[in-house]
């Protein structure tokens, strides 16, 4: 049949003549208009009946109901990922809206950065696809075939830079980062066209334009008019689109779908006249060479799927999640649901519904016609539809008045000062806005604008604004729910194990669980499960109010806030990773420590989690062995503070609970000792290595020294590393001095002398706070130096004038807070022991270091022997060299004291030794 003949020949000629008259000569406009009519003619002449739809369109759903009851097809081809077919029967156990999901974490054939992969296809009651699914599943002898590309091909065909992105934000949380699959995507892909349509249509969003100029006129149209208009709109958007990679992928999808339908018809022998192809209007106007059953082009070459293992399930969805993911106006899906319910009741249509559907309205059974209505010849319905003005509905004052009264009631509940006058104002303003926008009947969007104008005023006193209240009034954000029988085994296991709590965990409200583990030991298993869920689920899903779990600590009473209903999607996706919570937790811990960017600190955290939640054992040993490997491979010490903190905690736990340390702990300590000794000289001089990291390294080396030496490490390695360190930064210099003093390489008296020289040097005073910071960090490896740090700070504040101290303070306080905040309590405690405890004793208080400043640092000459007062004193006086050497090593240079005076100071001790001299004489005999 030629392009100018057929039922649309007259319309084609009119459009070409109009384009020629407008442009003065035939041009691209005439070609576009003629092409639109050709696309409609081609789609309607196809042997396999094509049903064009728009996603979540009440008009499409109504037309689908009417056509299914008339045609009663035996095969329904649906534009949906073909591998999602087994999930459709589980919709009976759910409360709509829900989303079909394909999920993959173990990728094979895709870039690792893409993981995890997720594809969702939301299903609502007010959608043509749900009506087709319900009809096919509830009608005996009807086959439902999904013909769109598989979930694997969705990502195979995605740009290699990144997969198709989904909407983000709080509203899209139910779908997460999944790629959304739209059934019947119908929206201009030419930004200028969309802007032009909205500007001339006097609307703010595309959803409002579609409702006004397509949805409402087609709601009561006959089937032929509906089909022709939808294909026309799809062809318009297709021909005016920008093309590019997205159009190429859509054309491949169309080739894929026609190839699958041909294969099914050839294999099943079904009669094309008894089949129905449900697809988006954009795809109904396809011009690919494989279009149609009689196309001569060869079938599309479908690439094999990758080795990626896909998992399938249902997750809850919501109107707001669908709007956020697919770029619809806020509240548009709720308005569509309300429009669907009203139109179905007004037209007397009985929608199809799955048996046992949760939350669905009970519908009266209507007898279906026994004989299908034969397909009528195609006639031109477009000419009349395009030439006559749309039939505008009259004003439904009762409905509008009900909206106005209800919105005022809702506004008052949410803190607005609204009354009867506001309801009248909203009513009149709605009519006024509809008139300004050439509408005889105010739409829900006009009502929303009027309510915001008349009620919201200047501020929002409540939790919700007026626009959100209108969405609630017109249908609300309906949230779906996956039923227990449709949940994966892991999710069912979680609910079963938490039954002793006596809570309805499927509710979307926050529920409080109280666990008295001492009175009811049977709740211990629930507590263990809740702590594991706390680790795996989002923080708000399982939140402890009272009780904690740390190494060596268990609470006897716990209180939890549980919100499983709101986070059902997260629980379901756990089921894609394993059969039990313990298995998922173990897999995640293993995956964490074997990541390419894993560090020793991360591995130690995984060991601690394995001990806390899984009892340790074999898993903790394997993770610990991995920590040893990671520590040996590290070339930086950025995580040294975290490593030190965690290994100390784990060693304390194992020493308290196990008869011997695990093998990996010993290997970690010995390996860490050698590792940090090797890196110590470089860390001291590296500008990128902070003082906290170097202090933590020394803390590991000195704190673990006794255990490391018993495991075969050599202390000479540490001494050599300290001798090879030559820092220039003041803080690191102070830390090196402290390390040398700790090793005995620097006498305490010389350390004091160096600090006194620093305080006496005016050129060094501006950087002296850095030395203080280094000394404070030195308390990590050498806690005994806390008294010396108090002494240094006290000398600085006692000797220096205010002109020097005042500029110091902000810098000193900031550095101590940022770099040594965890060490300040130790410093404060030492200061409390050093300084007097009352104000009255301050004046008479003499600092313990003030009298020592005038004495020489060392005393090599023999000291005069005091008068002996017993066998011990006689022994010490007779051999003073040993005592002098020990005193010099410890920094004690106060001199020898008179035994007689000591005896007078400690009369009780002297009396005890005089009354019982045998122990003292025995000690003297051993020492002699």
pTM over 0.85: no
C-alpha to C-alpha distance for 164 and 158, rounded to whole angstroms: 6
Residue with tokens 């209108």: 470
pLDDT digits (tens, 9 = 90+) for 164-189: 444 444 445 566 656 655 555 555 55
127 with 60: CB under 8 angstroms?
Answer: yes
104 with 177: CB under 8 angstroms?
Answer: no
265 with 318: CB under 8 angstroms?
Answer: no
Six-digit token string for 878: 């007779």
Give the pLDDT band (50/70/90) at residue 664: very high
Give the pLDDT band (50/70/90) at residue 237: confident
Which residues make Cβ contacts (< 8 Å) with residue 297, sequence separation at least 6? 289, 290
- Give the per-residue SS3 of 24-87: CCCCHHHHHHHHHHHHHHHHHHCCCEEEEECCCCHHHHHHHHHHHHHHCCCEEEEEEEHHHHHH
pLDDT digits (tens, 9 = 90+) for 901-910: 555 556 677 7
Give the pLDDT band (50/70/90) at residue 10: confident
DSSP assignment letter at 318: B
207 with 332: CB under 8 angstroms?
Answer: yes
What's the pLDDT score for residue 144?
A: 94
What's the pLDDT score for residue 27?
A: 65
Query: Between 757 and 21, where is the model more confident?
Result: 757
pLDDT digits (tens, 9 = 90+) for 607-619: 999 999 998 889 9
C-alpha to C-alpha distance for 696 and 699, rounded to whole angstroms: 5
Q: How far apart are the first and last CA of the chain?
A: 128
Say which range, 206-220, 414-428, 504-518, has the weakest mean pLDDT. 206-220
789 with 831: CB under 8 angstroms?
Answer: no
Which residues make Cβ contacts (< 8 Å) with residue 372, sequence separation at least 6? 70, 71, 72, 274
C-alpha to C-alpha distance for 341 and 319, rounded to whole angstroms: 15
Checking if the pLDDT of 850 tops 80, the result is no
Checking if the pLDDT of 793 tops 60, the result is yes
Which residues make Cβ contacts (< 8 Å) with residue 604, sequence separation at least 6? 624, 627, 642, 643, 646, 647, 650
Six-digit token string for 204: 């703010």
Give the mean pLDDT of 854-861. 42
What's the pLDDT score for residue 170?
A: 47
Checking if the pLDDT of 857 tops 80, the result is no
pLDDT digits (tens, 9 = 90+) for 35-49: 888 888 888 888 899
Checking if the pLDDT of 652 tops 50, the result is yes
pLDDT digits (tens, 9 = 90+) for 345-399: 776 778 888 887 776 665 554 544 545 666 667 777 777 777 776 665 556 778 8
- The enclosing H or E element of 512 equals strand 511-516
What's the pLDDT score for residue 367?
A: 41
The percent of residues above 70 in pLDDT, for the chain, comes to 85
Q: Is the peptide bond preceding residue 97 cis, with omega within 30 degrees of 0?
A: yes
Longest distance between any two alpha carbons in the chain, whole Å: 136
10 Å Cβ neighbour count for 716? 9
Give the pLDDT band (50/70/90) at residue 845: confident
Residue from 773, 757, 851 nearest 819 by CA: 773
Helix ranges (H only) for 311-419 are: 319-326, 332-347, 382-387, 397-413
Give the pLDDT band (50/70/90) at residue 764: confident
What's the pLDDT score for residue 370?
A: 44
C-alpha to C-alpha distance for 189 and 476, rounded to whole angstroms: 29
Query: Between 820 and 852, where is the model more confident?
Result: 820
What's the pLDDT score for residue 221?
A: 82
Angle at 302 between CA 296 and CA 306, to 5 degrees: 180
Strands 49-53 and 275-280 turn out to be: parallel
C-alpha to C-alpha distance for 261 and 284, rounded to whole angstroms: 14
Query: What residues are paired with 559 via a beta bridge?
Result: 514, 546
C-alpha to C-alpha distance for 32 and 236, rounded to whole angstroms: 8
What's the pLDDT score for residue 864?
A: 45
């Amino acid at each position: 049949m030629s392009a100018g003949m057929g039922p649309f020949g007259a319309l084609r000629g009119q459009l070409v003549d109009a384009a020629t008259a407008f442009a003065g000569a035939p041009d691209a406009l005439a070609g576009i208009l003629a092409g639109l009519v050709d696309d409609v003619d081609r789609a309607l002449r196809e042997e396999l009946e094509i049903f064009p739809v728009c996603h979540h369109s009440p008009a499409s759903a109504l037309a689908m109901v009417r056509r299914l009851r008339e045609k009663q097809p035996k095969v329904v081809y649906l534009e949906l990922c073909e591998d999602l077919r087994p999930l459709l029967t589980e919709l009976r156990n759910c409360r709509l809206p829900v989303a079909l999901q394909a999920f993959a974490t173990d990728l094979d054939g895709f870039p690792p950065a893409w993981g995890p992969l997720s594809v969702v296809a939301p299903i609502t009651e007010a959608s043509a696809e749900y009506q087709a699914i319900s009809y096919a599943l509830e009608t005996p002898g009807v086959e439902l075939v999904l013909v769109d590309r598989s979930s694997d091909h969705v990502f195979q065909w995605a740009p290699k830079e990144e997969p198709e992105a989904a909407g983000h934000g709080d509203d899209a949380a139910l779908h997460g980062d999944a790629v959304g699959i739209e059934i019947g995507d119908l929206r201009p892909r030419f930004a200028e066209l969309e802007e032009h349509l909205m500007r001339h249509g006097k609307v703010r969003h595309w959803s409002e334009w579609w409702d006004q100029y397509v949805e409402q006129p087609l709601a009561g149209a006959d089937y032929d008019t509906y089909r022709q208009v939808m294909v026309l709109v799809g062809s318009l958007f297709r021909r005016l689109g920008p093309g590019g990679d997205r159009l190429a992928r859509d054309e491949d999808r169309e080739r894929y779908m026609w190839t699958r339908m041909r294969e099914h018809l050839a294999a099943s022998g079904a009669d094309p006249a008894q089949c129905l192809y449900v697809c988006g209007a954009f795809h109904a106007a396809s011009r690919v060479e494989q279009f149609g059953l009689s196309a001569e082009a060869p079938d599309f070459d479908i690439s094999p799927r990758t080795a990626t293992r896909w998992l399938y399930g249902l997750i809850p969805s919501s109107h707001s999640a669908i709007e956020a993911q697919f770029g619809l106006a806020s509240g548009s899906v709720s308005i569509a649901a309300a429009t669907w319910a009203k139109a179905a009741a007004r037209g007397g249509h009985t929608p199809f519904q799955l048996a046992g559907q949760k939350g669905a309205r009970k519908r009266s059974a209507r007898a279906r016609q026994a004989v299908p209505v034969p397909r009528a010849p195609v006639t031109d319905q477009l000419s009349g539809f395009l030439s006559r003005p749309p039939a505008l509905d009259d004003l439904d004052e009762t409905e509008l008045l009900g909206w106005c009264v209800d919105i005022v009631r809702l506004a008052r509940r949410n803190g607005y000062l609204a009354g009867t006058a506001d309801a009248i104002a909203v009513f009149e303003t709605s009519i006024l806005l509809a008139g300004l926008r050439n509408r005889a009947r105010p739409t829900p969007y006009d009502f929303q604008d009027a309510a915001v104008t008349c009620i919201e005023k200047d501020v929002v006193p409540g939790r919700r604004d007026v626009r959100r209240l209108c969405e609630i009034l017109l249908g609300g954000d309906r949230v779906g729910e996956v039923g227990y029988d449709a949940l994966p085994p892991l999710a069912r296991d979680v609910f079963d194990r938490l039954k002793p709590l006596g809570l309805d965990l499927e509710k979307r409200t926050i529920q409080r669980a109280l666990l008295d583990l001492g009175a009811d030991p049977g709740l211990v298993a629930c507590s263990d499960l809740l702590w594991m869920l706390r680790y795996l689920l989002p923080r708000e899903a399982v939140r402890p109010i009272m009780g904690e779990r740390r190494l060596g600590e268990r609470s006897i009473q716990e209180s939890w806030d549980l919100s499983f209903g709101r986070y059902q999607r997260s629980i379901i996706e756990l089921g894609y990773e394993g059969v039990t919570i313990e298995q998922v937790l173990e897999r995640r811990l293993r995956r964490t420590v074997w990541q390419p960017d894993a560090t020793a600190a991360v591995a130690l955290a995984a060991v601690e989690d394995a001990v806390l939640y899984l009892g340790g054992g074999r898993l903790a040993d394997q993770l610990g062995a991995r920590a040893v490997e990671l520590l040996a491979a590290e070339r930086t010490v950025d995580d040294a503070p975290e490593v030190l903190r965690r290994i100390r905690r784990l060693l304390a736990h194992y020493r308290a609970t196990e008869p011997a340390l695990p093998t990996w702990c010993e290997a970690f300590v010995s390996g860490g000792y050698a590792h940090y000794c090797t890196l110590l000289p470089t860390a001291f001089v590296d500008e990128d290595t902070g003082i906290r990291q170097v202090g933590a390294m020394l803390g590991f080396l000195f704190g673990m020294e006794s255990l490391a030496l018993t495991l075969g490490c050599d202390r000479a390695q540490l001494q050599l590393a300290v001798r090879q360190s030559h820092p220039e930064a003041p803080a690191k210099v102070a830390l090196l001095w402290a390390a040398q003093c700790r090793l005995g390489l620097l006498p305490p008296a010389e350390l004091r002398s160096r600090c006194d020289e620093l305080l006496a040097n005016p050129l060094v005073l501006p950087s002296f706070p850095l030395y203080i910071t280094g000394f404070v960090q030195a308390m990590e490896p050498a806690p005994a130096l806390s008294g010396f740090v108090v002494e240094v700070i006290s000398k600085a504040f006692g000797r220096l004038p205010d002109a020097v101290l005042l500029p110091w303070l902000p810098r000193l306080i900031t550095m101590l807070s940022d770099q040594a905040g965890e060490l300040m309590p130790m410093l404060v405690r030492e200061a409390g022991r050093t300084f007097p405890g009352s104000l009255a004793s301050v004046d008479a208080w003499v600092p313990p270091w003030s009298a020592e400043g005038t004495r020489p640092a060392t005393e090599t000459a023999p000291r005069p022997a005091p008068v002996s007062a017993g066998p011990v004193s006689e022994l010490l006086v007779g051999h003073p060299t040993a005592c002098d050497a020990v005193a010099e090593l410890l920094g004690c240079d106060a001199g020898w004291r008179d035994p007689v005076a000591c005896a007078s100071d400690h009369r009780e001790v002297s009396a005890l030794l005089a009354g019982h001299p045998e122990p003292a004489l025995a000690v003297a005999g051993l020492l002699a």
